[in-house]
Amino acid sequence: MAGAIHLACGRVDALLREAREPTKWLSAGELQRLGSMRSSRRRGQFVAARWQARRLLASVFGGSPADWPLDAAPDSPPTLPARSDLHLSISHSADWTACAVSFEAVGLDIETPRPDRDIEGLAQVCCTPGEVALMQAAPDGEAFFYSLWTAKEAWLKRRREWMAPSRLRQLELRPGGFDARTWSAPGWSLALCGSGKVRWSSDEPTSRRCWEMRDEAASPA
């Protein structure tokens, strides 16, 4: 299993139906974070994502989901106190949540397209002129934009960096390579940055792109 990235993606509502009595399996730190959330939707996303992570860990490495306690530092990805050799990345957007686990640093981002988003305006903020030109020439321009956006966020998550617009513009993606991989399906777009073969916990979406990342500012990860 070394060298593989295990990836899960699912609906929040379906995961919540499984994740019963979260007070019995969430860690003290997670319960503290959950208690600070005022939005019921945000609370649901949090519980669903933490259950999904535990379920993925149990399916890959054994045990039950409750056997996998997670730490929950504010504004940081979850960590496994008993398995410092494993790296987790979690992302959620609207009705969807995703999780990746690997023996190496990994970054994951999922976004749900919204009809009220100004795609052209966002592209000017977070994309380079070359990327904007590629997006405008693509037959699926909106899906292409979400691939760019999620890949950049996943790249920065892997490096544990803040996602300032100026930093996003220091990243330039070109088709080809394996610095980032993106998938699209009805309702979501997802990007993964990490080394290794990707093993989906469900069927892999057929709409996939692979990217080379050029980073003006960063030293090697």
Question: What is the domain-level CATH number for residue 53?
Answer: 3.90.470.20
List 103's β-bridge partners, or say none. Answer: none
Asked if residue 134 is part of any domain, the answer here is: yes
Last residue of a domain, one of 109, 125, 143: 109
Asked if residue 220 is part of any domain, the answer here is: no
Last residue of a domain, one of 109, 125, 141: 109
E-assigned strands of 20-140? 87-93, 96-102, 107-111
Residues 133 and 145 in one domain: yes
Residues 146 and 101 in one domain: no
194-218 pLDDT, tens digit each:
999 999 998 899 899 999 999 998 6
Confidence at residue 162, expressed as pLDDT on a 0 to 100 scale? 86
Whether this prediction's pTM lies above 0.85 is answered by yes
Residues 99 and 87 in one domain: yes
pLDDT mean over 145-172: 95
Q: What angle do CA 117, 121, 125 make, to 5 degrees?
A: 115
Q: What is the mean pLDDT of the chain?
A: 94
| pLDDT level of residue 135 (50, 70, 90 thresholds) | very high
- Cα distances (angstroms) measured from residue 12 to each of 42, 47, 48, 81, 94: 10, 9, 6, 25, 8
Domain count, the chain: 2
| pLDDT level of residue 1 (50, 70, 90 thresholds) | very low
Range of the domain at 87: 4-109
